[in-house]
């Protein structure tokens, strides 16, 4: 191993030195000691099998460093490395921009180039069997009514499908409507595997074979966690076996993990089982139940199960929810894991409620199990029933887990209720069940019957949930088998990564923390507004802060000019600011782009890029994952320190757990989480070494509360000034840049 380490580390000179391989391949490449040090840290962890937590800000060249380290390790240690990102743009950057450079660098080192493949979810691929099953009745004129408009599309899809490169949806010329893609995409619950007549030509199977041969596999966090969940459950994984995983954008894992491994019980899940039978009718229901009488019986059992489940759900709602939850008068929550306008609360199981669905579940299950045994395992009918049973069992098991509190103290239990829209929508969907049936003869139940069983219509917008708090319990075994390396521009708080390590369930690990040396990567000018009202303490408290933000935006925009991103923590404030600013923006010729729950982030960003003068008011999703270079963004305005929502039951439980009973939830959890998010927000501004940008803080708590000091100490290096300094800052000649940046003496800390 020492020999291999010496060999791998020896490549650093050839790659990163002045006049080295990267200088020759990449025009304008500037050797950075931090990139080289990161490479050494990565090689050390890959070889030793010790987890690594690495923070490297934009400008350190971390993507190329880890791609080179992973490739060299995979080739020389003969192991597979998975690289997982949170966002698609980063995956595209790895494959299209960084990988060609890494590949050429390996060639120039005289080493074999490893095979790199992208692992995608099955739903991205067309299933040839399902496509032809969908198209056949349409093309032969046997599709009744609804199929006729699809004739030209069916001709196109059937013509193109056999000759695609990878079988991905985007390879088809022309758009495929969502409802059609749903019918023809690959679906693990409706796959015949070896028994499929298209198995040898199957795009999914070809992709699996390519993945098995690859040395470096690029995927996303969600698919990686799916793989972990499946292998934990003893099922086949979706990724090939591997010894190392490298997570970029790793800070997102901590937020995704509890929801991903958690359990949710909703009426919608039970309804989806009915919908599943309706949608899959052509694929497997008609095949498994060719006689009309049998189908009617299946629907009868299914409807009885739904009615029973709905009654049990209503019992839980009636017994454990506060009356305010059902009347819609609970406290609204502004942001965080619980969506704005939702209401939520924590619950303490076990719950002793009558189980109205149990008998119907057993009858339905027995009927389906008996039927499945009539078929060969590879029959489409058996595959369909198998998938359906898995969903049915999972729903009932999740219900039992929730009611019994089976996770104990390591889980948090609670409820959330959607806003008025959600509360109105759910009964409509459920009511549709009672007025429709697949076949004549199915028993149609009345809503009066379900009312008899304690169902409150308001409870239909409610979700009951159980979420794990301890990543170590869920992921600990996995980290024993696979070494994780976590990379992000924001993992640390004041130089410490212990919160993230706890969130990921790591006990022993190495760290690497770095940012580019002063003057080598862009420049920041900070402006802080010290006097003014604080943001309101609660969603219903009087809000003097939002009008203050509006006035400051009007006052500062003439200095900032160009394109300015204003980051908020709730939609209500955005709406208010946008309404007040609209006539001013029109008079000033400033395009005002206000983010709302209905708007598309991509559309807003596209309009922002095209505009010459614009204010983009963005909520949660604009704090990270957007790349606006150079003049695309001149300034970021932080309206409020982005603390997690303490009224979110998950946030409260995680904060209590991380404080370890010391009662310092704010310092040990809420403040570090806010700092990480704040640093993500600032990361939108400097994406390239020639970028310059201004950050404006409109939350006076930053300067007038004791915790503000820790936040200020955690900010990237920059100079502090007044808004009047902005024009000179942007006008400064590039030769002066180095001397201005990193002016620690002007920091307010």
- What residues line the site for ligand SF4 (CB under 6 A)? 127-130, 186, 191-193, 196, 198-199, 202, 204-205
DSSP-based three-state secondary structure for 447: helix
CB of 29 to ligand SF4, least distance (A): 44
Phi, psi of 165 (to 5 degrees): -75, -55
How far apart, in whole angstroms, are the C-alpha atoms of residue 577 and residue 550? Answer: 6
How far apart, in whole angstroms, are the C-alpha atoms of residue 565 and residue 592? Answer: 11
Query: Which residues, 6+ apart, have CB-to-CB distance to 270 below 8 Å?
Result: 305, 306, 309, 310, 313, 395
For ligand SF4, the closer of residues 203 and 509 by Cβ is 203
CB of 157 to ligand SF4, least distance (A): 14
Give the H or E element holding residue 56.
Answer: strand 52-56
Residue nearest to ligand SF4 (CB): 196
CB of 205 to ligand SF4, least distance (A): 6
For ligand SF4, the closer of residues 186 and 491 by Cβ is 186
CB of 203 to ligand SF4, least distance (A): 7
For ligand SF4, the closer of residues 204 and 633 by Cβ is 204
How far apart, in whole angstroms, are the C-alpha atoms of residue 390 and residue 363? Answer: 15
For ligand SF4, the closer of residues 284 and 521 by Cβ is 284
How far apart, in whole angstroms, are the C-alpha atoms of residue 640 and residue 574? Answer: 12
CB of 384 to ligand SF4, least distance (A): 11
Give the H or E element holding residue 593.
Answer: strand 591-594
For ligand SF4, the closer of residues 119 and 585 by Cβ is 119
CB of 395 to ligand SF4, least distance (A): 25
Cis check for the bond before 215: say yes or no (omega within 30 of 0): no
For ligand SF4, the closer of residues 162 and 193 by Cβ is 193
Phi, psi of 494 (to 5 degrees): 50, 45
CB of 129 to ligand SF4, least distance (A): 4
CB 116 within 8 A of CB 93: no
> What is the token pair recorded at 435?
């007025």
CB of 474 to ligand SF4, least distance (A): 30
For ligand SF4, the closer of residues 130 and 717 by Cβ is 130
Question: How far is CA 69 from each of CA 39, 86, 336, 442, 600, rounded to the nearest angstrom?
Answer: 6, 20, 36, 61, 37
DSSP-based three-state secondary structure for 120: coil
Nearest to 556 by CA among 527, 583, 579: 527
For ligand SF4, the closer of residues 189 and 725 by Cβ is 189
CB of 294 to ligand SF4, least distance (A): 24
CB of 279 to ligand SF4, least distance (A): 16
Beta partners for 309?
none
Hey, how many other C-beta atoms are within 10 angstroms of the C-beta on 48?
A: 13
For ligand SF4, the closer of residues 308 and 384 by Cβ is 384
Give the H or E element holding residue 260.
Answer: helix 251-261
For ligand SF4, the closer of residues 123 and 350 by Cβ is 123
The strand ranges marked E within 395-515 are 411-417, 462-468, 483-488, 510-514
Nearest to 510 by CA among 118, 110, 26, 51: 51
């Amino acid at each position: 191993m020492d020999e291999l380490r010496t060999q791998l580390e020896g490549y650093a000179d050839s790659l990163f030195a002045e006049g080295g391989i990267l200088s020759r391949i990449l025009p304008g490449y500037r050797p950075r000691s931090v990139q080289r040090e990161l490479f050494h840290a990565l090689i050390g962890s890959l070889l030793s099998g010790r987890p690594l937590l690495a923070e490297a800000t934009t400008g350190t060249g971390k993507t190329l460093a880890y791609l080179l380290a992973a490739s060299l390790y995979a080739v020389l240690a003969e192991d597979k490395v998975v690289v997982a990102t949170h966002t698609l743009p980063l995956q595209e950057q790895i494959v299209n921009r960084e990988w060609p450079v890494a590949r050429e660098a390996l060639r120039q080192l005289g080493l074999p180039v490893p095979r790199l493949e992208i692992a995608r979810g099955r739903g991205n691929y067309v299933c040839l069997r399902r496509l032809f099953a969908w198209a056949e009745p349409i093309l032969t004129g046997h599709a009744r009514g609804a199929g006729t408009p699809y004739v030209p599309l069916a001709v196109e899809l059937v013509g193109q499908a056999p000759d695609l490169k990878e079988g991905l949806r985007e390879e088809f010329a022309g758009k495929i409507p969502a409802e059609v893609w749903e019918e023809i995409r690959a679906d693990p619950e409706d796959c015949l595997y070896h028994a499929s007549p298209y198995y040898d030509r199957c795009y999914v199977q070809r992709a699996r074979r390519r993945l098995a041969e690859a040395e470096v596999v690029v995927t996303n966090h969600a698919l990686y966690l799916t793989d972990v969940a499946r292998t934990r459950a003893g099922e086949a994984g979706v990724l090939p076996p591997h010894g190392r995983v490298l997570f970029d954008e790793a800070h997102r894992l901590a937020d995704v993990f509890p929801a991903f491994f958690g359990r949710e019980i909703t009426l919608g899940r039970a309804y989806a089982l009915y919908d599943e039978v309706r949608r899959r009718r052509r694929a497997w229901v008609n095949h498994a139940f060719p006689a009309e009488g049998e189908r009617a019986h299946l629907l009868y059992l299914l409807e009885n199960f739904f009615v029973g489940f709905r009654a049990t759900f209503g019992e839980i709602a009636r017994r454990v929810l506060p009356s305010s939850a059902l009347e819609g008068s609970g406290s609204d929550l502004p942001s965080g894991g619980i969506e704005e306008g939702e209401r939520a609360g924590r619950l303490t199981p076990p719950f002793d409620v009558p189980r109205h669905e149990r008998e119907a579940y057993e009858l339905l299950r027995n009927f389906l199990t008996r039927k499945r045994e009539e078929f060969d395992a590879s029959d489409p009918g058996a595959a369909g029933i198998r998938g359906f049973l898995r969903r049915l069992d999972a729903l009932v098991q999740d219900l039992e887990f929730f009611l019994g509190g089976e996770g104990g103290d390591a889980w948090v239990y609670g409820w959330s209720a959607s806003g008025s829209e959600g509360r109105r929508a759910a009964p409509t969907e459920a009511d549709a069940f009672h007025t429709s049936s697949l076949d004549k003869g199915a028993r149609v139940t009345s809503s009066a019957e379900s009312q008899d069983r304690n169902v409150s219509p308001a409870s239909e917008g409610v979700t009951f949930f159980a979420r794990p708090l301890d990543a170590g319990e869920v992921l600990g075994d996995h980290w024993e088998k696979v070494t994780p390396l976590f990379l992000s521009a924001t993992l640390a708080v004041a130089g410490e990564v212990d919160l993230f390590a706890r969130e990921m369930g790591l006990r022993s690990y190495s760290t690497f923390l770095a940012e580019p040396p002063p003057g080598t990567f862009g420049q920041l000018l900070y402006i802080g507004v010290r006097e003014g009202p604080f943001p309101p303490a609660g969603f219903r408290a009087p809000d003097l802060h939002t009008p203050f933000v509006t006035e400051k935006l009007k006052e500062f925009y003439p200095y900032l000019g160009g394109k300015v991103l204003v980051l908020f923590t709730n939609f209500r404030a955005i709406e208010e600011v946008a309404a007040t600013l609209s006539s001013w923006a029109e008079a000033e010729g400033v395009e005002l782009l206000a983010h709302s729950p209905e708007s598309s982030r991509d559309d807003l960003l596209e309009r922002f890029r095209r505009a010459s003068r614009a204010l983009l008011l963005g909520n949660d999703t604009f704090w990270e994952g957007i790349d606006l270079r150079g003049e695309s963004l001149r300034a970021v305005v932080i309206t409020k320190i982005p603390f997690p929502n303490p009224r979110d039951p998950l946030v409260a439980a995680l904060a209590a757990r991380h404080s370890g009973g010391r009662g310092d939830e704010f310092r040990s959890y809420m403040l570090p989480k806010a700092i990480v998010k704040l640093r993500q927000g600032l990361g939108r501004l400097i994406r390239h070494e020639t970028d310059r940008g201004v950050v404006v803080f409109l939350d006076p708590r930053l300067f007038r509360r004791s915790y503000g000091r820790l936040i200020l100490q955690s900010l990237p290096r920059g100079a502090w000034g007044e808004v009047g300094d902005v024009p000179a800052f942007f006008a400064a000649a590039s030769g002066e840049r180095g001397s201005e940046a990193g002016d620690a003496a002007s920091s307010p800390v």
